[in-house]
Structure 1
Amino acid sequence: MKTKNILISGLLAIVASTGLASGAAATESYYGHPAFASVSGQTSIPVGHAEFCTRRPAECSPTLGAIDHVKLTDTLWDELQLVNNHYNISITPVSDMDLYGVPEFWTYPVNGYGDCEDIALAKRAALIERGWHPSTLLMTVVRQANGEGHAVLMVRTDRGDLILDNQDALIKVWNDTPYTFLKRQSQAHAGQWVDIIDNQGGSVTATAGY
């Protein structure tokens, strides 16, 4: 219980620093606040996700009844913590090259092993099973400080866009992470992606496997 309270307090402090009132529902007027990532037009789908969609087309279709964000209640915050912690602890990070002998292969974790996008996919599927709307759970590609690509799950809430990351036990608002954000899934279509306008670097188009 103590850990939970610390995490919630930390999140609320971050959100408060952006000018969003604690507990206030986000509306269109909030966009432009740094707690919410802005996007530009449609962009290329990551190669690994394109191949994933070929294998699992039902998971990459237009999103019916898409919503902009979810209102983050205490119960939903607990679910985010539970799912994030479960997969961060239970899945051992291993590269696609070591697992499959290829540079990039997006899939669900197998036998307790997977890389960043596999873990993010598993978190997304688990939250959808719990009733979260797919349009609020977006696979996202970022660039780390060392220049390497990385995948996380962006969760769109009225407290801001939250990041579930296998490299960090804490769930943080997107702009409180050390990454440059490149692109994410479209909320309207799970098989399409849009560029993210990063506050620090503008709209960045990813290359290579991302």
Structure 2
Amino acid sequence: MPLGASAMPPAEYLDFCQRQPGDCGAAPQTVLAGVAKAKAERAALLAAATPTALAALASNPPAATSASRASNTAAMTAATPPAATLTPATAVALAPTDALTPAILRPLDMEASTPRMSSQLWARLNRVNDKVNRAFRATTDIATYGRVDYWATPIAYGVRKGDCEDYVLEKQRALIADGLPREALNIGIVVTPQGETHAVLLVATSEGEFVLDNMSPWVKPWDQTGYRWRQRQVDGDPFNWVMIQDPARRPAPAPAAPMVERLVVASLS
């Protein structure tokens, strides 16, 4: 995946890490310090915005987010599936209390922090994607929490509804509990064909990065999702986010100042 300029982490993700630092790193105190630093950088960036940067921000508004994300699932499911080797694993019923219980499987083959793709790893990815997708109902944060955007892990608290970021965070939790390294699991922000901002989980493997998505039962290579890629985490670091040079986009003029691109990203949160 071609990476671009650095980007600020979404503000609501920082709030999540502040509430649940254990879900954002192995050392909670380090995570909390990182959150404080990132929030200070965000505030300084916005305070230093020039008129040119603000004009660029106004001309690049975030994509609309509707209440009908769940309605797209049926249409995507009805699409022609990938090859037989990419068929989702058999569905398994999931209760909130066992969502993060690691499977009793052989250790994964690892190269540094990147798991080696194998039939075993493929089955794990499909199992987790299917389990979490079936664990709760897709709803907006307004309906669930009374807030426009609120990142959470609903399964951990017995909540049976949430939106795309919640699916991502639960899948990340489940895969870490299942033995995958945090460095291989990254949050990605995309734009759907319907123009909606959407979050997915990227899993780095020896065969490339694959996407776990609540709007599809299929685990797919990142460049076969039909999405336009905006930004992502790098190496599982909660505070290392970058823009993505989406090959589906036409080249755009260079920004007037380096701050512009980061401000546009900050506006998505």
TM-score, normalization: structure 2? 0.59
Deviation digits for residues 27-86 of structure 1 (CA, Å, limit 9, x no counterpart): xxxxxxxxxx121232111122111112123433489xx945321111111110100001
Structure 1 residue 153 displacement after superposition: 0.2
Cα distance in 2 for residues equivalent to 1:127 and 1:68: 14
**Which residue number in structure 2 is paired with residue 40 of structure 1?**
4
Of 63, 78, 85, which residue of structure 1 is paired with 2:130? Answer: 85
Of 137, 150, 164, which residue of structure 1 is paired with 2:185? Answer: 137
Structure 1 residue 150 displacement after superposition: 0.3
**Which residue number in structure 2 is paired with residue 50 of structure 1?**
14
Structure 1 residue 186 displacement after superposition: 2.0
Cα distance in 2 for residues equivalent to 1:79 and 1:120: 15
Cα distance in 2 for residues equivalent to 1:189 and 1:62: 11
**Retained in 2: the 8 A contact 1:116–1:150?**
yes
**Retained in 2: the 8 A contact 1:52–1:107?**
yes
Cα distance in 1 for residues equivalent to 2:26 and 2:3: 18
Cα gap change, 1:47 to 1:138, in 2 (>3 Å): same
Amino acid at match of 2:21: P
Q: Percent of pairs identical after alignment?
A: 30
**Retained in 1: the 8 A contact 2:7–2:241?**
yes
Of 234, 242, 249, which residue of structure 2 is paired with 1:194? Answer: 242
Cα distance in 2 for residues equivalent to 1:73 and 1:133: 16
Instruction: Give the unaligned 5+ runs of structure 1.
Output: 1-36
Q: How many residue pairs end up in the alignment?
A: 172
| Residues 177-192 of structure 1 mapped to structure 2, 5 A cutoff | 177-187=225-235, 189-192=237-240
Look up the SS of the partner of 1:168 in the other structure: coil
**Retained in 2: the 8 A contact 1:62–1:191?**
no
Cα gap change, 1:134 to 1:44, in 2 (>3 Å): same
**Which residue number in structure 2 is paired with residue 95 of structure 1?**
140
| Residues 1-210 of structure 1 mapped to structure 2, 5 A cutoff | 37-61=1-25, 67=112, 69-109=114-154, 110-187=158-235, 189-201=237-249, 206=265, 208-210=267-269
Amino acid at match of 2:134: I
Look up the SS of the partner of 2:195 in the other structure: coil
Which segment drifts farther, 40-49 or 87-96?
A: 40-49
Aligned residues: CA RMSD: 2.2
- Structure 1 segments, 4+ long, off by >6 Å, are none
Deviation digits for residues 118-140 of structure 1 (CA, Å, limit 9, x no counterpart): 01110010000011000111111
TM-score, normalization: structure 1? 0.75
Cα distance in 2 for residues equivalent to 1:62 and 1:197: 30
Structure 1 residue 207 displacement after superposition: 5.2
Cα distance in 1 for residues equivalent to 2:238 and 2:129: 21
Q: Which has the higher strand share?
A: 1
